[in-house]
């Protein structure tokens, strides 16, 4: 339990909150920087039928979004790699015809850099997504998508995460060959700016959740990436035991863990084929005696929740870039309400070690 003195020492204007608010401009800069890469992306992926993502942490959650976008809109099967297959087991699969996308905010994570080098040796074409131009990852990839988030000083990733989503959207929609869909990305920065208006509602929800020690966070389809990232942020910044699950995984057994002291936070886009199932899930979780909180969805989804933060009017395949913002605001507010400084959570640094020689 935090003391009153510890709580009062936490700034009301945290770096995390400042960086959340910087996201619309960061996304505009990133889109401007990456639009010229469309032709090069189409060229490098021309003979590739499969997209394999290599990442860790928040970058891995962003890769889940890329996996869906490449599979549903990009016409290539997207899957997530286990970096240890390359770095620990030294496996030797044939990766001809595979586009490997390595995602790392710093571009210097040894495990990810080594994984991309391994993929090239096995015959893959490579794309790097990083926030650091000239980093080892950017310097050695066939195509480097360098995001323009600027320096991120708070330990929890916010603007570097959303700019990664933007880069992956440029990639996935480039592969689709749909120039109209690429132009649709122009709406994203303004949608993210509107999502910042949920700050007051996030503060109110946070005040109701200070008791929180455990929570299940779930989404489906594109929004499953948002659920995974919110669960990670709740663990990092609020010291909450948060389980990030897909809708389907929650139904297959783990739904038994929700109860009056273990609420569910459900995340949904405002349209798309998975929304009815997410709305039905709210009733099922409530029937288990758990409180249900929501982010996004439509009016029916919001009514089914005990309390809900507004989502976005972006189409489902773009929604995660704005849908994460109310969740980020909730995490930042909940950390302060629990007497935790979200800029400097215990046991974490901006540079994270996977092992003794790796940095994210």
Q: How far is CA 229 from CA 133, 233, 315, in A?
A: 25, 6, 20
> Rounded to the nearest 5°, which phi and psi values hold at 218?
-140, 150
Q: Closest Cα to residue 124, out of 50, 25, 17?
A: 50
Predicted confidence at residue 5, as pLDDT, reads 41
Query: How many residues would you count in the chain?
Result: 360
Predicted confidence at residue 11, as pLDDT, reads 59
Give the whole-number percent of the chain exceeding pLDDT 90: 84
Locate CATH 3.40.50.10490 in the chain. Answer: 15-186, 192-337
Give the sheet arrangement for strand 98-103, strand by strand. Answer: 77-80, 50-54, 98-103, 125-130, 143-146
Reported as a pLDDT band with limits 50, 70 and 90, residue 6 is very low
Q: Give per-residue burial for 72-105: e unless 16+ CB within 10 Å, then b.
A: ebbebebeebebeebbeeeeeeebeebbbbbbbb
Within 8 A by CB and 6+ apart from 348, the residues are 155, 236
Question: CA–CA separation, 57 vs 360, rounded Å?
Answer: 8
pLDDT at 167 over 80: yes
Reported as a pLDDT band with limits 50, 70 and 90, residue 160 is very high
Contact 169, 69 (CB under 8 A): yes
Domain covering 192-337 assigned CATH 3.30.70.1230 in the classification: no
Name the burial class of residue 1, with classes exposed (0-12), middle (13-18) and buried (19+) by CB atoms within 10 angstroms of its CB: exposed
Reported as a pLDDT band with limits 50, 70 and 90, residue 117 is very high
Predicted confidence at residue 82, as pLDDT, reads 93
Predicted confidence at residue 250, as pLDDT, reads 79
Within 13 Å and on the Cβ side, how many CA atoms surround 339?
Answer: 9
pTM for the whole structure: 0.93
Both structure tokens of 279: 């709305």
pLDDT at 195 over 90: yes
The catalytic residue positions are 350
Tally Cβ neighbours within 10 Å of residue 40: 15
Predicted confidence at residue 10, as pLDDT, reads 63
Sign of CA dihedral 92, 176, 27, 36: positive
Predicted confidence at residue 275, as pLDDT, reads 97
Correct CATH for 15-186 of 3.40.50.10490, 3.60.21.10, 3.30.70.1230, 3.40.50.300: 3.40.50.10490
Within 13 Å and on the Cβ side, how many CA atoms surround 322?
Answer: 30
Both structure tokens of 70: 């490449």
Both structure tokens of 157: 């990733």
Q: What single-letter DSSP state applies at residue 353?
A: -
Predicted confidence at residue 254, as pLDDT, reads 63
Predicted confidence at residue 252, as pLDDT, reads 72
Predicted confidence at residue 359, as pLDDT, reads 42
Question: CA–CA separation, 153 vs 158, rounded Å?
Answer: 10
Reported as a pLDDT band with limits 50, 70 and 90, residue 282 is very high
Predicted confidence at residue 323, as pLDDT, reads 98
Predicted confidence at residue 360, as pLDDT, reads 45
Within 13 Å and on the Cβ side, how many CA atoms surround 282?
Answer: 25
Within 8 A by CB and 6+ apart from 325, the residues are 20, 23, 162, 192, 195, 196, 198
Beta strands 241-246; 264-268: pairing state: unpaired
Looking at per-residue pLDDT, the higher value among 236 and 1 belongs to 236
3-state class (DSSP) for residue 234: helix
Widest CA span in the chain: 61
């Amino acid at each position: 339990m935090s003391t009153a003195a510890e709580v009062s020492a936490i700034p009301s204007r945290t770096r995390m909150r400042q960086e959340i608010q910087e996201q619309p401009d960061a996304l505009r800069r990133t889109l401007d920087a990456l639009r010229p890469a469309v032709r090069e992306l189409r060229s490098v992926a021309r003979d590739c039928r499969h997209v394999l993502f290599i990442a860790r942490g928040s970058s891995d959650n962003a890769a889940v979004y890329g996996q869906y976008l490449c599979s549903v809109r990009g016409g290539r099967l997207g899957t997530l790699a286990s970096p240890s297959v390359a770095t620990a087991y030294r496996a030797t699969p044939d990766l001809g015809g595979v586009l490997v996308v390595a995602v790392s905010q710093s571009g210097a994570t040894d495990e990810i850099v080594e994984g991309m080098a391994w993929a090239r040796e096995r015959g893959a074409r490579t794309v790097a997504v990083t926030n650091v131009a000239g980093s080892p990852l950017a310097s050695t990839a066939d195509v480097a998508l360098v995001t323009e988030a600027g320096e991120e000083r708070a330990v929890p990733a916010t603007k570097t995460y959303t700019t990664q989503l933007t880069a992956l959207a440029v990639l996935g929609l480039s592969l689709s060959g749909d120039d109209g869909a690429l132009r649709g990305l122009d709406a994203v920065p303004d949608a993210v700016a509107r999502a910042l208006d949920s700050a007051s509602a996030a503060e109110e929800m946070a005040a109701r959740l200070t008791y929180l020690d455990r929570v299940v966070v779930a989404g489906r389809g594109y929004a499953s990436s948002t659920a995974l990232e919110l669960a990670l942020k709740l663990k990092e910044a609020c010291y909450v035991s948060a389980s990030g699950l897909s809708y389907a995984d929650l139904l297959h057994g783990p739904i038994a863990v929700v109860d009056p002291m273990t609420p569910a936070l459900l995340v949904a886009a405002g349209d798309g084929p998975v929304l009815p199932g997410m709305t039905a899930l709210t009733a099922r979780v409530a029937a288990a005696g758990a409180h249900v909180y929501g982010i996004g969805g439509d009016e029916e989804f919001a009514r089914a929740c005990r309390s809900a933060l507004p989502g976005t009017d972006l189409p489902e395949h773009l929604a995660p870039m704005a849908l994460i913002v109310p969740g980020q605001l909730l995490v930042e507010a909940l950390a302060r309400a629990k007497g935790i400084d979200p800029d400097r959570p215990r046991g974490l640094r901006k540079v994270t070690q996977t092992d003794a020689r790796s940095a994210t």
